[in-house]
Amino acid sequence: MGLLKYIASLTLVASVAIGNAQTHVFDVKTNKLGTEIPQTMYGIFFEDINYGADGGLYGELIKNRSFEFPQNLMGWMSFGDVKLQDDGPFERCPHYVRLSVCKEASKWTGLQNEGYFGIGYLKGADYRFSVWARVPNGGTAQFKAQLIDPSTMSERQQYLGEATITVNSKEWKKYECTIKCADLVEKGSFRILLDHSSSPVDLEHISLFPKDTYKGDDNGLRKDLAEALEQLHPGVFRFPGGCVVEGAELESRYQWKNSVGPVENRPLNENRWLHSFDNRLFPDYFQSYGLGFYEYFRLSEEIGAEPLPVLSVGLACQYQSKNHQPVDQLQPYIDDALDLIEFANGDPAQNKWAKVRADMGHPAPFNLKYIAIGNEQWGPEFPVRLKPFVEQIRAKYPNIQIIGSAGPDSEGEKYDYLWPEMRKLKVDLVDEHFYRNEAWFRQAGNRYDNYSRKGPKVFAGEYACHIDGKKWNQFQAALFEAAFMTNLERNADIVRMATYAPLFAHVEGWQWRPDAIWFNNTQKFNTCSYYVQQLYATNKGTHVLPLTMKGKPVAGNADQDGLFASAVYDKNQQMVIVKVVNTSDKEQSFLLQQQGKPLDLGKVEVTTLMADHPEAENSLDNPTRIVPVSAVKSYKMGDDLAIPANTFMVLKFHRK
């Protein structure tokens, strides 16, 4: 057994404070590989909340492109002779507009779209404009498609780029062109301007995307936001919600079948977050379904995460509604689940939903392994509905893992009722949610140490620290999440996946905070919580290593001075990785006492995440105020280690 005592010349804080401090001894059994850590361990959960999809991750810049919002011209300013029609070429999106030249020769006809809190344009970037059009009475129509800077202060011309489109067919056809943008504009708009000599023209599905989408995909994603997801190295990708799966009423639940096939024919759905809070009301919040299940599966594949779709169990959001599908009429809902498995994995020659996938460009299966039924459900109405799903999925697809739910609470009546029910139904994993304050996180360091190892495993599907009274992304919240995650890591035999929530928020359109990534129309920033997730995912290792202090897990207990710690071994890199979180206001010293092959002390990779104030946070103006800082350190036997107050530290030791 070797005693390794390392001193932190770790810098950032003067090490004087440790003079009288007690050194904490962490015993790490590096010769005793524990549970294999699943690839799915740290993942992401995406929901269309906070304008996360339309107006966020989804690349479309036009709001209400198919004129299907209940107020059909919402998002559009029309001028001149513009008439709404409802017998368009797409059955489930029948509305379109007819533009005709005004009788008064000097007047203009056209339309202007406001985008989502404006349209963000990047200087020098190309934009792909497309529209379905026809000349209903024959002749030739001409109009301009213009990228507009509506700022009245600007001295330049209003348009930053334009293209002229000529339409001369009486049949509906798709017209497409590229428009280059001359400047950066945060809150632009988009204009269609009919030529004075034009024949009347019908326009439908007016669309504008940046050409440079994530991976260059058609109907693609905003690149900077999708790249931020990729950089989280998620092992699992839960979608599409959350409460949007349930709907405020059953009618507005997320229906995946409406979200696949040609985008022009995907019907609009109300977003459940439209009217959730009257102090943050967004009457224009709808789901175009442009970012649909095909795109979610494609993204899973592109970022290397296991797809984990969530489907309605036949219960609308129980906080808001008693709208439940009767148990004896659940079959269409169950069919949605069975058909989804075919959509993802089936043979296009044998199954119509698999054929939809192939026709959309992905003949190979997506290799779906997990399906969640229900989100935050509770009470007897949940298990009674989940049961027939489980029976039918098991009968047809015995290899698919089914995820149930422990309800909306981390403990209490609903949770106590549901766990035994989930055991009875023999689901594979139980989805637990906990949005809790710092006091809860402080005492939750042992949450999973004594969980029953029999029956379903745990999926910590939604969690975040909400600091009392200040629900934002201050550093302190992230620190408690990092502390809590040592508990997930140590218990990887029972906790098989975990996803922080929510993922995205538009700075002008949020309903819920904190969130992992914030953005406006042209920029984004990662929060401290994002970096905590990233540090865990990129240092998840392959096996748990036992790490204790005086024989107990280091979990922030009364005699542990606010310290939390866990360790893993990475067999591919042959590295021991130790995570330590100091949630106290004092620097703490520790030493590692290890049993196992010697480690290379000359080249230790040390990464710290710390802030100058617990309430400090990143922002659009200062996106990198708090980021992980890495350095390679050299230690000698007998050195001590110190971790500054309120700090998350990851230490990576190579084997000698």
Residues that bind ligand AHR (CB under 6 A): 47, 49, 241-243, 375-376, 408, 462, 501-502, 512
Chain mean position to CA 624:
21
With beta carbons less than 8 A apart as the criterion, state whether 271 and 249 touch. no
Looking at the Cβ atoms of 297 and 463, the one nearer to ligand AHR is 463
Q: How far apart are CA 150 and CA 281, in angstroms?
A: 25
Looking at the Cβ atoms of 292 and 514, the one nearer to ligand AHR is 514
CB burial readout 43-56, b (16+ within 10 A) else e: bbbbbbbbbbbbbb
Q: From the candidates 204, 342, 376, 481, give the one annotated as an active-site residue.
A: 376
- Give Cα separations from 313 to 287, 324, 366, 386, 422 (angstroms): 20, 9, 23, 6, 14
- Give Cα separations from 37 to 368, 403, 492, 493, 553 (angstroms): 20, 19, 6, 8, 18
Looking at the Cβ atoms of 54 and 462, the one nearer to ligand AHR is 462
SS3 of residue 412 by DSSP: coil
Looking at the Cβ atoms of 64 and 276, the one nearer to ligand AHR is 276
Return the axis-axis angle of helices 331-345 and 293-303, rounded to nearest 10°.
40
Smallest distance from the beta carbon of 242 to ligand AHR, in angstroms? 3
Amino acid 542 reads T
Q: Give the CA angle between residues 581, 234, 340 to the nearest 5°.
A: 140
Peptide bond into 638 cis (omega under 30): no
Smallest distance from the beta carbon of 375 to ligand AHR, in angstroms? 5
Smallest distance from the beta carbon of 515 to ligand AHR, in angstroms? 9
Amino acid 645 reads A
Smallest distance from the beta carbon of 526 to ligand AHR, in angstroms? 18
Tokens of 294: 């095909």
Looking at the Cβ atoms of 90 and 530, the one nearer to ligand AHR is 530
Amino acid 520 reads N
Smallest distance from the beta carbon of 372 to ligand AHR, in angstroms? 11
Smallest distance from the beta carbon of 18 to ligand AHR, in angstroms? 40
SS3 of residue 132 by DSSP: strand
Chain mean position to CA 2:
44
Smallest distance from the beta carbon of 462 to ligand AHR, in angstroms? 5
- Give Cα separations from 357 to 49, 346, 479, 567 (angstroms): 26, 9, 42, 42
Query: For the chain, what's the residue count?
Result: 656
Looking at the Cβ atoms of 409 and 489, the one nearer to ligand AHR is 409
DSSP, residue by residue, 23-71: EEEEEEETTS--SBPPTTSEEEE--S-TTSIIIIIB----TTTTS-SSS
3-state helix/strand/coil string of 99-127: EECCCCCCCCCEEEECECCEEEECCCCEE
Smallest distance from the beta carbon of 34 to ligand AHR, in angstroms? 31
Smallest distance from the beta carbon of 512 to ligand AHR, in angstroms? 5
Q: Give the CA angle between residues 626, 647, 488 to the nearest 5°.
A: 105
Smallest distance from the beta carbon of 636 to ligand AHR, in angstroms? 47
Smallest distance from the beta carbon of 409 to ligand AHR, in angstroms? 10
Q: Which of 174, 184, 248 is nearest to 204 (CA)?
A: 174
User: Which residue's Cβ lies closest to ligand AHR?
Assistant: 242
641: CB partners within 8 A, 6+ apart: 6, 7, 8, 10, 589, 590, 591, 592, 651
Looking at the Cβ atoms of 312 and 345, the one nearer to ligand AHR is 312
With beta carbons less than 8 A apart as the criterion, state whether 341 and 274 touch. no
Looking at the Cβ atoms of 286 and 564, the one nearer to ligand AHR is 286
Amino acid 134 reads R
With beta carbons less than 8 A apart as the criterion, state whether 208 and 175 touch. no
Beta bridge partners of 14: none
Looking at the Cβ atoms of 15 and 323, the one nearer to ligand AHR is 323
Is 376 noted as a catalytic residue in this protein? yes
Smallest distance from the beta carbon of 503 to ligand AHR, in angstroms? 9
SS3 of residue 338 by DSSP: helix
Tokens of 404: 């149930």
Looking at the Cβ atoms of 46 and 635, the one nearer to ligand AHR is 46
177: CB partners within 8 A, 6+ apart: 128, 129, 145, 163, 165
Q: How far apart are CA 406 and CA 417, in angstroms?
A: 8
Looking at the Cβ atoms of 49 and 305, the one nearer to ligand AHR is 49
Looking at the Cβ atoms of 379 and 628, the one nearer to ligand AHR is 379
CB burial readout 627-650, b (16+ within 10 A) else e: ebeeeebebeeebbbbbbbbbbbb
List residues with catalytic annotation.
376
